[in-house]
Amino acid sequence: MNLSTTIAGVQFPGCIMNAAGARCVTQAELEALGRSRACAIVTKSMTLEPRQGNPEPRYYGFPSGSINSMGLPNLGYRAYAKLIPELKRFGKPVIASVAGLCEADFISIATVINESQPDLVEVNLSCPNIPGKPQIGYDAEASERLLARVRKVLTVPMGVKLPPYFDPVHQEQMVPVLERTGVQFLSLINSVGNGLVVDPVSETVVIKPKGGFGGLGGPLIKPVALANVRAFWKLFGGRLPIIGTGGVVTGTDIFEHLLCGASAVQIGTVLVDEGLAAFDRLEQELAAVLEAKGYGSVEACRGKLKEL
Ligand code: RRO
């Protein structure tokens, strides 16, 4: 079964990669992704300075999903700029996830990271977990200003990781922004921000930062992820490649993302829970689903969701 895919002109040997944040902070984790069946290596979103992140516990998994408030723990962009050329030896695309605590940070980081020539840059406009910092992707004007500046300093393809939108008007507002700033792919969606999980036995929240509020991931967010993939697929007439993220636990979940219009998927919660073996399992499950359905490739079923 041919599970390869192409995003913004870059060839991927498969269609399942890690989501930024999941097992991709340290050199050892990034190299392990390189050796795994992941079709790409996506870095943790990087900031100007190294960060420890928020106090623990800051991640909690439960049967229907996960909640996190990691707070951008990462090595700082200088470390990733050094690592990226080495990671390319694994022979799969390297995606640098760029974040920042203010607009100027994104520009400084993108300028330097571009010199290390990742295959793609994913600009994270949707971290929900920095106290006092709203998700940029919910502000169309701020997103446009930032993306226009980042675009200017990049020579590699630029994509954007967006937050989930819950109203079609907000998705429609982003379309001209993404067009005018030359965005070449979308990663949809980041975690569903500012959820709250309660443990009724201990009568407490389950993570420490921000009074227990954090980004939701895993199976419970799949319908929101699929809706955003489908909405943007339709808004762009299928011309803008989309990486679907949210609720992938089985090969069938990936098939659903592909039907909605995704060209590839990223895995977060399941990768944290299950480890790198998730890539092998999901690849086999997806191949079996596509074969049973009579599709010969990712491309063959992409966007083919039927309406009633
Ligand atoms: O580090 C985090 O707390 C985090 C980030 Br940057 C993000 O983009 N999404 C998320 O769920 N957590």
- Is any ligand 1 atom within 6 A of the Cβ of residue 228? no
Instruction: Please tell me the distance between residue 2's alpha carbon and the centre of ligand 1 in angstroms.
Output: 32
Q: Note if 301 is an active site residue.
A: no
User: Sheet of 59-62: strands edge to edge?
Assistant: 59-62, 65-68, 213-217, 192-196
- Tell me the per-residue pLDDT of 35-81, one tens digit each, with 9 for 90 and over: 999 999 999 999 999 999 999 999 999 999 999 999 999 999 999 99
User: What is the model's pLDDT at position 92?
Assistant: 98
- Looking at ligand 1, which atom is closest to the CA of residue 58? 3
Which residue has its alpha carbon closest to ligand 1 atom 8? 127
Hunting for tokens 């605590």 — which residue is that?
101
Verify whether ligand 1 is closer than 6 Å to residue 189 (CB atom): no
Instruction: Identify the burial level of 226 via C-beta atoms within 10 angstroms of its C-beta, where 0-12 means exposed, 13-18 middle and 19 or more buried.
Output: buried
Residue among 244, 230, 133, 233 at smallest CA distance from 188: 244
Q: Which atom of ligand 1 is nearest to the CA of 73?
A: 1
Could you say which of 3.40.50.300, 3.40.5.90, 3.20.20.70, 1.10.3720.10 is the CATH number of the domain covering 5-53+71-191+221-301? 3.20.20.70
What are the extents of the domains in the chain?
5-53+71-191+221-301
One-letter amino acid of 243: I
The whole model's pTM is what? 0.98
Res 6: pLDDT? 98
- Residue of 15, 24, 127, 260 marked catalytic: 127
Over residues 74-102, the pLDDT tens digits come to 999 999 999 999 999 999 999 999 999 99
Average model confidence (pLDDT) for the chain? 98
Ligand 1 lined by 68 (C-beta under 6 Å): yes
